[in-house]
Amino acid sequence: MPAAVKLENVVKRFGALEVLKGISFDIEAGQVVALIGASGSGKSTALRCINRLEQIQSGTIEVCGHRVEDPALDPRSLRQDVGMVFQSYNLFPHMTVGENVMLALKRVKRMDRSAARKVAERVLRQVGLAEKIDNYPEQLSGGQQQRVAIARSLAMAPKVMLFDEVTSALDPKLTGEVLRVMEDLAKAGMTMVVVTHEMAFARRAADKVIFMHQGHVHEVGDASILTTPETPELREFLDHDL
């Protein structure tokens, strides 16, 4: 079976600054990968390259059969298969929760209102917020808003989901609610790349942990590397992060 996501020797520069210095890793369908590392190590940039929010200078990225580095690729076709959730959830404040979730279904998938509403009901149920469908975002807690953002992404039926520090703006209780939703998704077989500082979550949910250091993939393994790291750099990162 081909990898769901495969990066080979990916180099990304911003001007003279080389942020990704030839990184390689692959992710099988259904796997959950935790991408960890210090601030500035290139985690967000790597995610953004996977979704072609950034163009790479060299190397290859394959995602669900799309050649991401190919300038001829239509990013919209890629993004039908790849959902992304950020730290800032960016819901539209003047639309209800349901309307936020339905927007892309209507605009991109050309669904009619009643079909889109059915999908919205299903994905909101999946994140535990069925009863909030007609509320406005400001009536929800931060954690609930982030779960709506996850539902909005799920509504498009992505094959891979990318999460970039989705809990870092939330207090511990709300963080727990969001992480539980993500663990449910993982159990349901979603392929996920999760940039996170939540090491307890990584231990529980990750099939693979990728530690980035100064633009390199420095150590890779299963969740046990979080307990018994091989490299001094990962050991030091874990000591400081916990």
Ligand X SMILES: Nc1ncnc2c1ncn2[C@@H]1O[C@H](COP(=O)(O)OP(=O)(O)OP(=O)(O)O)[C@@H](O)[C@H]1O
- Nearest CA among 25, 23, 60 for reference residue 45: 23
139 or 168: CB nearest ligand X? 168
Between CA 55 and CA 199 the distance in angstroms is 30
Let me know: does 83 contact 185? Beta carbons within 8 Å.
no
41 binds, among ligand X, Mg ion, none (CB under 5 to 8 A by kind): ligand X
Q: Is 17 in the site for ligand X (CB under 6 A)?
A: yes
* Residue 152 structure tokens: 């909005």
CA distances from 215 to 19, 102, 145, 211, 218 (A): 5, 37, 32, 10, 9
The β-bridge partners of 32 are: 192
Binding mask 176-195 for ligand X (x = CB under 6 A): --------------------
Q: Which of 37, 83, 98, 137 binds ligand X (CB under 6 A)?
A: 37
The span from the first CA to the last CA of the chain, in angstroms, equals 37
Site for ligand X in 38-67 (CB under 6 A): 39-45
The window from 34-42, 137-145, 173-181, 222-230 that contacts ligand X (CB under 6 A) reads 34-42
37 phi and psi, to 5 degrees?
A: 150, 165
Q: Which of 5, 10, 34, 44 binds Mg ion (CB under 5 A)?
A: 44
Nearest approach, Cβ of 103 to ligand X (angstroms)? 27
The window from 43-51, 123-131, 139-147, 223-231 that contacts Mg ion (CB under 5 A) reads 43-51
The β-bridge partners of 84 are: 162
Between CA 199 and CA 140 the distance in angstroms is 27
Between CA 230 and CA 20 the distance in angstroms is 22
Q: Is 19 in the site for ligand X (CB under 6 A)?
A: yes
The window from 14-22, 100-108, 118-126, 150-158 that contacts ligand X (CB under 6 A) reads 14-22
Let me know: does 165 contact 197? Beta carbons within 8 Å.
yes
Between CA 63 and CA 150 the distance in angstroms is 20
The window from 33-41, 64-72, 101-109, 119-127 that contacts ligand X (CB under 6 A) reads 33-41
Q: Is 233 in the site for ligand X (CB under 6 A)?
A: no
Site for ligand X in 75-114 (CB under 6 A): none
Let me know: does 219 contact 211? Beta carbons within 8 Å.
yes
3 or 38: CB nearest ligand X? 38
99 or 164: CB nearest ligand X? 164
- Which residues bind to ligand X, rule: CB under 6 A? 14, 17, 19, 37, 39-45
